Structure 1
């Protein structure tokens, strides 16, 4: 099976070819976020440098895997990484980013997230079990990332990691566009389309997005319905996010 057909072995992962527009030519859509690991392996292949991960999420998915040294190296192949993601990563879907660093798929990470799950790393660096250092740059929103890119203040590292990247993976968790209800913290409130647009495309963010998309080799999109109000609510949210993400940011037709 040639490289263009490898994704057909990845159950539950839909590969989309993005025509025209700007940025990546491939997108991978799935439900549990830990399936990003085989999707990134499929997108990057077994050769070439690790990619910078730019991930948009509600949660800071920087929990160390339970057995980091057991994460297969990317040279072990797509099947090994796919099996590891499904059977060994946390079902809470919080440890796939550091697992990808252990696998040699991801170098540094620019993480746009607002909530810190129990056990998530808040350090500025992660040294994997192979001894490789990784920068962890965390900002809460796109407008803060865009500001840090355009006019870096002392300590800002957004421009630093983007300029150092040879390849970029853009990763989006659908629950990034939700909030928990103040009246009932167990209730998830999906954002309307105008708020999604305001978050993704704030004023003066174009130079930031050009830096991300100019070297972006793939988009991964996790639907996470249990974090987005259920199947029906997440389906409606996906439609709204797709209109902004694909049509307005990537300038291509939504799936």
Structure 2
């Protein structure tokens, strides 16, 4: 069996993960779409394979998903194979979908992480370096918006590390949680308000962000997109939001036709 067919069969084992080809644009040639964000972990494993250095994760989210897994030492290493990583993500990671990033560091899939997010869940790791249970150090760089990440890339201050982690990376995993493009209602904190397309575009493509995106997309090997409907106002609301985000993310940023 040739490697291309083997890769296709590996992907078919990932229940609930839709793989899309993104040929003809800029950036990654493959995208993986799923609902619970923890399924990003086996998708990253599928994209990276069993060998090679870990990738830099560049993730856009409403939440900083850096809660330490309950038993981090139990996370299989990527050398254990896709099935082991997939089963662990589905059955052992938290159903609240906020510990998959540090779990991916434990698995040696993700090296450093650049996280663009606005909200810190209770129990989130608070440091700027995570040392996994195998003794490897991982830098965690955070920014609240794309324009702040882009500014830190173009004009780094004494403590800005956006440029450092991007330049050090051999490969990038670009990850997007659909709830990045939502806000909670001031009148009712249990109500989720999806952003209109104009606000999505303003967030994703602020002025002077092109050099930052060139640096990210020039090394991106895959895009993962979590739909998380329960964080986006439900199935219907999240479907409409996905359509608007796809127009900006795929057509305007990646320059390919939306799925």
TM-score, length of structure 2 as denominator length: 0.98
Q: Identify the residue that residue 95 of structure 2 maps to in structure 1.
A: 91
What is the CA–CA distance in structure 2 between the aligned matches of 1:146 and 1:3, rounded to whole Å? 34
What is the CA–CA distance in structure 1 between the aligned matches of 2:206 and 2:43, rounded to whole Å? 28
Q: Pairwise mapping of residues 59-70 of structure 1 onto structure 2 (< 5 A)? A: 59-70=63-74
Q: Identify the residue that residue 171 of structure 2 maps to in structure 1.
A: 167
Cα RMSD after superposing both structures:
0.6
Q: Identify the residue that residue 28 of structure 2 maps to in structure 1.
A: 24
* Structure 1 position 136 matched with structure 2 position 132: no
User: Which runs of 4 or more aligned residues in structure 1 lie more than 3 Å from their structure 2 counterparts after TM superposition?
Assistant: none
TM-score, length of structure 1 as denominator length: 0.99
What is the CA–CA distance in structure 2 between the aligned matches of 1:167 and 1:5, rounded to whole Å? 23
What is the CA–CA distance in structure 2 between the aligned matches of 1:5 and 1:251, rounded to whole Å? 28
Out of 66, 81, 86, the position equivalent to 1:82 is 86
What is the CA–CA distance in structure 1 between the aligned matches of 2:57 and 2:117, rounded to whole Å? 13
- Residue 191 of structure 1 deviates from its aligned partner by 0.1
Q: Identify the residue that residue 46 of structure 2 maps to in structure 1.
A: 42
Q: Pairwise mapping of residues 91-130 of structure 1 onto structure 2 (< 5 A)? A: 91-130=95-134
What is the CA–CA distance in structure 2 between the aligned matches of 1:231 and 1:248, rounded to whole Å? 25
Out of 191, 194, 198, the position equivalent to 1:190 is 194
SS at match of 1:22: coil
Out of 2, 7, 30, the position equivalent to 2:11 is 7
What is the CA–CA distance in structure 2 between the aligned matches of 1:244 and 1:55, rounded to whole Å? 16
Note the residue ranges of structure 1 that are not aligned, 5 or more in a row.
none
Q: Identify the residue that residue 179 of structure 1 maps to in structure 2.
A: 183
Out of 233, 245, 251, the position equivalent to 1:247 is 251
What is the CA–CA distance in structure 2 between the aligned matches of 1:122 and 1:248, rounded to whole Å? 34
SS at match of 2:238: helix
Q: What does the per-residue CA deviation read over 1:43-71, in whole Å, with 9 as the maximum and x for residues that have no partner?
A: 00001100000000000000000000000
